[in-house]
């Protein structure tokens, strides 16, 4: 069963990474997950490689930021974050996303 799951995942995931960071200012540990998925089905951006990027609390599993991009294209299909203050933000460019991710993954 595990081998079958792995074989199926390799069909649509071409790369993945996980980064953890303890934010001293916010007193929380965050995870940043980046997965590049090969999409062949009819989806809003069409077939191709998509970057799925998430930032969540490592223990509470609360999602603070998420983005989905077709590689090499902007704007994003999805890009949103909930700041530590509770304020919701959206973005359309990778530069805007980087600014939002830094709130959690730096300091």
Q: What is the pLDDT of residues 49-62, one digit of tens each?
A: 889 999 999 999 99
pLDDT score recorded for residue 12: 62
Q: Is the pTM of this model over 0.85?
A: no
State CA 42 to chain mean position distance.
21
33-43: per-residue pLDDT in tens?
999 888 776 67
65, two tokens: 């930021």
Domain extents in the chain: 12-105
């Amino acid at each position: 069963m595990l081998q079958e799951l792995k074989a199926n995942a390799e069909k649509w995931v071409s790369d993945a990474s996980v980064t953890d960071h303890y934010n001293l200012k916010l007193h929380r540990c965050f995870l940043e997950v980046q997965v590049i998925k090969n999409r062949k089905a009819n989806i809003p951006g069409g077939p191709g490689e998509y970057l799925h990027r998430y930032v969540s609390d490592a223990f509470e599993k609360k999602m603070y930021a998420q983005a989905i991009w077709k590689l090499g294209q902007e704007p994003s299909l999805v890009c949103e974050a909930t700041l530590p203050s509770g304020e919701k933000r959206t973005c359309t460019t990778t530069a805007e996303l980087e600014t939002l991710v830094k709130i959690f993954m730096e300091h």
